[in-house]
Amino acid sequence: MTEPPRPPESVPATPAPAVPAVLVQTAQQLRDAALAGTGAFDLVRSLTTEVGPRLAGSPGDAAAVRWGAETMRALGFANVRAEPVKVPHWKRGAETGEILTPYPQAVVLSALGGSPATPVAGLEGAVLEVESLAAMEALAKEAVAGKIVFYSPKMQRANDGSGYGAVVRIRGEGVIKAAEKGAIAVLIRSVSTANNRLPHTGSARTLAGLPPIPCAALSVPDADLLQRQIASGQPLRFRLRLDTQLLPDGDSANVIGEVPGREKPDEVVLLGCHLDSWELGAGAEDDAAGCAVVLETGRRLLALKERPRRTVRVVLFANEEFGLSGARAYAEAHGAEIAKHSLAAESDLGSGRILRFSSRVRAEALPWIEGLSGLLQPLGVERRGNDARGGADLMPLAAAGVPLADLDPDATKYFDVHHSANDTLDKVDAKGLDQAVAAHLVLALLAAEAPMAFGPVDPPERSRR
Ligand SMILES: [Zn+2]
């Protein structure tokens, strides 16, 4: 398949109007006031303390929906509503793993989201280490059949989180590919940069459906242990026991609130995050932090004497983690007004300071975007290209040609805690959140006030996060 053409990146011959001085001033005031301190950390504290874990379909998820609507009302948002979303409901139970030979030891692991249960007594087999998806593809069926496949590649640390994309496909596709060749179970090295003994879960669900065989993530040190025992050259046998349950679909909701536009209320600048989380931790970094940033941004826009021209809509998406149900439900419910979405951005990479800004707008709007970028510079935000991809919850909108912006935070430490029991409030960077709010205020205000349309644009390649 050929890549869709990218919007041109050069500045067009007809310059767009410069950002008016009065707007520059408002943006600077909003930005600098946010840097001095915001309520964003308190919002993360509230969600993680009063709700905590919120896996799709669980009681915590329902409590989060109530929290989202109540919080939006308390912050002064208009048109607050919870739009219903059906979500899959999967539940974790007891989970154990042990090396039986050559050197018996118990290990620490956690089921991947969607994994079926093993037999009650557990499942036992020889372990086959596989270093990549490509290596799995190259293996003959006979080499895989009846084995427990162990995917061992390590995630690399990077401030843009790029190490995640390099290995995360193993979590979904790797399980399917192993099952296709007759594997009886899959173990993966946790997709994480941590070196503590906590496993990092994540969805093994793919477009093709739920994983057909039991699958679990080993803590990083336990993945190292398996590799060392395998390197001894002796056969490694393993016993896995997972007591998971797939329950009937549950009810959740996209929670939505607005800063109504003063001139073009039907045109929407969307700021998103996801309200659900994995249940091992409190979902503080993933993604209470992102929700706090977009909620606090909305609160500050609501406090302006003169509201922005377009509507700024804050969307707390349902079930990002286990199948993007909220993203799909939003695109369906708002199909008729997708063309009215002027710009969309999602905050879903933790509480670090924003380091980079990318856009995806039509060429005519680029001079305005450069003006916007100039206002981000004092925050230390580097201007990147016109090739933004948007967050996972924006995929349906992005595919429909909605213009996008990415404000990418420093993700150096994010994958130490992501999807693990360690994703708790103490990991959240309050100052990072304030700076992110400052950056989102500049983005939302300038997008909502732009004198030209940003789209339509060519959609990005399908992205995963
Ligand atoms: Zn997330």
**Chain segment 125-173, per-residue pLDDT in tens:** 999 999 999 999 999 999 999 999 999 999 999 999 999 988 999 998 9
Sheet holding 341-346, edge to edge: 78-91, 245-259, 310-317, 264-274, 341-346, 404-409, 354-360, 382-383
Rounded to the nearest angstrom, the distance between the alpha carbon of 341 and the centre of ligand 1 is 22
Whole-structure pTM value: 0.95
User: What is the percentage of the chain residues whose pLDDT exceeds 90?
Assistant: 93
- Provide the 10 A C-beta neighbour count for residue 59: 12
Peptide bond before residue 59 is cis, with ω within 30 degrees of 0: no
Tell me: pLDDT of 92 over 60: yes
- Sheet hosting strand 185-189, strand order edge to edge: 105-107, 95-101, 237-242, 123-130, 148-151, 185-189, 215-218, 109-111
The pLDDT of residue 8 is 47
Residue 320 Cα, ligand 1 centroid: separation in angstroms? 7
Among 104-113, 206-215, 329-338, 413-422, the minimum mean pLDDT is found in: 206-215
Q: 123 alpha carbon to ligand 1 midpoint, in Å?
A: 31
Residue 262 near residue 306, CB atoms below 8 Å: yes
The pLDDT of residue 462 is 63
What single DSSP character describes residue 153? Answer: P
351: closest CA among 424, 275, 265, 457? 424
Q: Ion ligand 1 — residues with CB under 5 Å?
A: 286-287, 348
Residue 207, pLDDT score? 81
Calculate how far, in angstroms, residue 50's C-alpha sits from the geometric centre of ligand 1: 19
Q: Does position 283 have pLDDT exceeding 50, yes or no? A: yes
* pLDDT value, residue 222: 98
CA of residue 144 to ligand 1 center, whole Å: 33
According to the model, what pLDDT value does residue 3 have?
45
Residue 203 Cα to ligand 1 middle (Å): 11
pLDDT at 411 over 50: yes
pLDDT band at 349 (very low <50, low <70, confident <90, very high): very high
DSSP lists the bridge partners of residue 317 as 274
Selection from 372, 323, 381, 379 nearest residue 343 by Cα: 372
Say what the pLDDT of residue 166 is: 85
pLDDT of residue 18: 87
Average pLDDT score over the chain:
95
pLDDT score of 465: 39
- How do beta strands 341-346 and 215-218 pair? unpaired
Ligand 1 centroid from CA 286, angstroms: 5
Q: What spacing in Å lies between the alpha carbon of 274 and ligand 1's midpoint?
A: 7
pLDDT value of residue 96: 98
Asked if residue 320 lies in contact with residue 309, where contact means CB atoms within 8 angstroms, the answer is no
Residues whose CB is less than 8 angstroms from the CB of residue 161 and which lie 6 or more positions away in sequence, other chains included = 349, 408, 411, 414, 415
CA of 162 to the centre of ligand 1 (A): 15
Q: Measure the CA dihedral 436/441/442/444, to 10°.
A: 120
The pLDDT tens digits for 194-248 are: 999 999 999 998 888 899 999 999 999 999 999 999 999 999 999 999 999 999 9
Angstrom distance (rounded) from CA 52 to CA 283: 7
Q: Which of 403, 396, 397, 288 has the alpha carbon at shortest distance from 349?
A: 288
From the CA of 465, how far away is ligand 1's center (Å)? 8
Between 8 and 358, the more confident residue is 358
- Secondary structure of the chain: what % helix, strand, coil (to 5)? 35, 25, 40
**Residue found by looking up tokens 């606090």 in the block:** 296
Cα-trace Rg, the chain: 23
Average confidence (pLDDT) over 99-114:
98
Do 442 and 383 meet the contact criterion of CB atoms below 8 Å apart? no
Q: Mean pLDDT, to the nearest integer, of 110-121?
A: 97
Rounded-to-integer distance, Cα 132 and Cα 212, Å: 20
Could you give the CA distance from residue 172 to residue 208 in angstroms, rounded to a whole number?
A: 10
Whether the predicted pLDDT of 10 surpasses 70: no
pLDDT of 79 higher than 60: yes
Task: Kindly provide the residue ranges of all beta strands, DSSP E only, lying in 159-231, ordered along the sequence.
Answer: 185-189, 215-218
**Which is the catalytic residue, given 95, 320, 321, 449?**
320
Q: Is 320 a catalytic residue?
A: yes
- CA 209 vs CA 187, 205, 244, 274, 421: distances in Å: 19, 6, 16, 21, 26
Average pLDDT for 319-346: 97
Q: Are 443 and 405 in contact (CB under 8 A)?
A: yes
In the reported structure, the alpha carbon of residue 291 is separated from the centroid of ligand 1 by a whole-number distance in angstroms of 10
Task: Give the Cα separation of 440 and 296 in Å (integer).
Answer: 9
Q: Calculate how far, in angstroms, residue 278's C-alpha sits from the geometric centre of ligand 1.
A: 9
Q: How far apart are CA 389 and CA 405, in angstroms?
A: 8
pLDDT at 435: 98
According to DSSP, the residues that pair with 99 across neighbouring strands are: 105, 238
Quote the DSSP letter at residue 424: S
| Closest residue by Cα to residue 120 from 94, 145, 98, 146 | 94
Q: How many helices (H) and strands (E) does the chain have?
A: 15, 16
pLDDT at 16: 56
**Confidence (pLDDT) at 30:** 98
**Interatomic CA distance for residues 345 and 443, integer angstroms:** 9
How far apart CA 272 and CA 270 sit, in angstroms, is 6
Helical spans, DSSP H, in 377-458: 395-399, 414-417, 430-449
Confidence of residue 464 (pLDDT cuts 50, 70, 90): very low
Classify residue 458 by its DSSP letter: P
| Helix (H), strand (E), coil (C) string for 385-402 | CCCCCCCHHHHHHHHCCC
pLDDT of the residue at 461: 80
39-59: pLDDT as tens digits? 999 999 999 999 999 999 999
Name residue 7's amino acid.
Answer: P
